[in-house]
Amino acid sequence: MEVKQCDFCRMPFQTYGSKICKDCLAQLDEDFLKIKDYLYEHDSAGIDEVAEETGVPRKSIMFLLKEERLTVGSDGDDGGGLLKCETCKKPIRTGRICKSCRNEVLAAIETVAPVKKPKQVTEEPEEEVSIKGAAKLQLK
């Protein structure tokens, strides 16, 4: 077991590999469910409305976006520029880096240490619930 700093609250905690302490993980899961329930009823809500009406802090919403549990915007748009790729600064809808930067990183890793790829398991697409407006959210 090692001591790490929680990616959310920045407090040290003991872990076997998790990046988030158990308290923050429980709170983020609860926040996610609040957002999910709200989006089912208010699919045209913006990020500020969701934060205000659910009581979920904007910090939690942004964290869920970067962890790819939520998506901002809709297919074909850039999410209003709310998130930017941490490498090239292009607008993205979810996560931390864009697809092209992710592909470059994966290609670089592959040249250094080729990895045998496991069989792909097909998953059913998750239902998306969206927030319309300047920063429309969707469940990932």
pLDDT tens figures, 48-76: 999 999 999 999 999 999 999 988 876 66
- How much is the average pLDDT of 3-15? 94
- How much is the average pLDDT of 89-100? 90
Q: How far apart are CA 50 and CA 127, in angstroms?
A: 18
Cα–Cα distances in angstroms (integers) from residue 8 to residues 19, 35, 98, 120, 128, in the given order: 9, 18, 22, 31, 25
Q: Is the pLDDT of residue 136 over 90?
A: no
Instruction: Phi first, then psi: give them for residue 136, nearest 5 degrees.
Output: -75, 130
- pLDDT band with cut points at 50, 70 and 90 for residue 129: low
The residue assigned the tokens 């959310």 is: 8
Q: Are 78 and 93 in contact (CB under 8 A)?
A: yes
Q: What is the pLDDT of residue 93?
A: 87
Q: Is the pLDDT of residue 128 over 70?
A: no
The fraction of the chain above a pLDDT of 70, given in percent, is 76
Give the chain's radius of gyration (CA, Å). Answer: 17
Residue 91: in which H helix or E strand, if any?
strand 91-92
Q: What is the pLDDT of residues 18-36, one digit of tens each?
A: 999 999 999 999 999 999 9
Q: What is the pLDDT of residue 73?
A: 73
Domain boundaries, the chain: 2-9+19-112+127-139
Rounded to two decimals, the pTM is 0.72
